[in-house]
A = this chain, B = another copy of it.
Amino acid sequence: MATEQSLILITNDDGITSKGIASLYEAVKDFGEVVLISPDSPQSGMGHAITINDPLRLYPSKLFPGIESFACSGTPVDCVKLGIHQILNRKPDLIVSGINHGANTATNVLYSGTMSAAVEGAMEGIPSIGFSLCSFDSEADFSAAIDIVKSIVESSLKNGIPEGVCLNVNIPDLPKEALKGIKICRQAHAYWEDRFEIRTDQFNRTYYWLSGDFMDIDQSDDTDLFWIAKGYSTVVPTQFDMTHYKAIKELENWNL
């Protein structure tokens, strides 16, 4: 069981004013001492970006009375680094990121600021979880998601997350009674079929907006996309070792 003494760091990528981070705070506040550091503006799609060429600012926030909370001028990964190495006086027992407004299934884990914050936590040896609700609506209903978060946080504090791993949790956008359960699975193989909308600005100069369709080329029955579509929440154990071990042998045959 969680003890009063657990220290929990909260962050996200939608920014400190989002409904998702308020919902995450609601879900974890009774599990221990909570400190919150969140970007001062939306940081979706920032992936594992860090701020190295600009100064970082931290502004104490009044949005979460009763706990220490800050808005940060940087990325989600900056928030984690500032939390661990600047704000907290001891290593946190858990980092939670989210609840993201929108799914971070499949290969989206690479673009996701929410998940990159959790990956950064794992790199620092801290149990870390990213949570996402499969709805981009800024006013989405997080009430069912809050229950899922509580259940996974409780289990994580009890069992301990394996070393070198963080959890990528996606929750379908369904009412509580329609949620089927929780599945542990792998990241689906999918990609964005990108398109660029070409527009012209007021000075008659061309600019481009990134757009596209998400293509699931996996179609297996053991992926996050498969289970989400069936009404299950998914937990993908996510690592930061990007080595493709099987390819090492194949490349050795090149005799470079």
Binding site for B on A (CB under 8 A): 42, 44-53, 55-58, 75, 77-78, 81-82, 84-86, 107, 109-111, 116, 119, 123-125, 151-152, 155, 159, 162, 164-165, 167, 181-182, 184-187, 189, 191, 194-196, 199, 201, 205-210, 212, 235-248, 250-254, 256
CA–CA, A144 and B81, complex, Å: 36
Most buried by B among A77, A110, A181: A110
Contact in complex: B186, A243 (CB < 8 Å): yes
Given A44-B53, A206-B58, CB of A237 within 8 Å of CB of B244:
yes
A239-B244, A242-B187 known; A48+B47 contact, CB < 8 A: yes
Contacts of A254 in B (CB 8 A): 155, 159, 184
Q: A110-B242, A155-B254, A237-B250 are in contact. List 18 more A-B contacts (CB 8 A).
A: A47-B49, A48-B49, A48-B116, A49-B49, A49-B111, A56-B210, A58-B206, A78-B210, A81-B194, A84-B194, A85-B195, A109-B242, A110-B123, A159-B254, A164-B244, A184-B254, A237-B243, A237-B251
Counting from the closest, the 8 A-B pairs by CB-CB distance are: A47-B48, A237-B247, A55-B207, A239-B244, A186-B243, A182-B256, A237-B244, A47-B47
| CB-based contact B244/A242 at 8 Å | no
**Of B116, B238, B247, which one neighbours A244 at CB under 8 angstroms?**
B238
* Other-chain contact of A50, B47, B207, B236, B256 (Cβ < 8 Å): B47
- A77 CB, min distance to chain B CBs, angstroms: 8
- Whether B244 and A165, one on each chain, are in contact in the complex, defined by CB atoms closer than 8 angstroms, is yes
- Cβ-neighbour of A48 out of B111, B165, B237, B256 (below 8 A): B111
* Measured CA separation A256–B235 after assembly (Å): 10
Q: A49 touches which one: B45, B165, B186 (CB < 8 A)?
A: B45
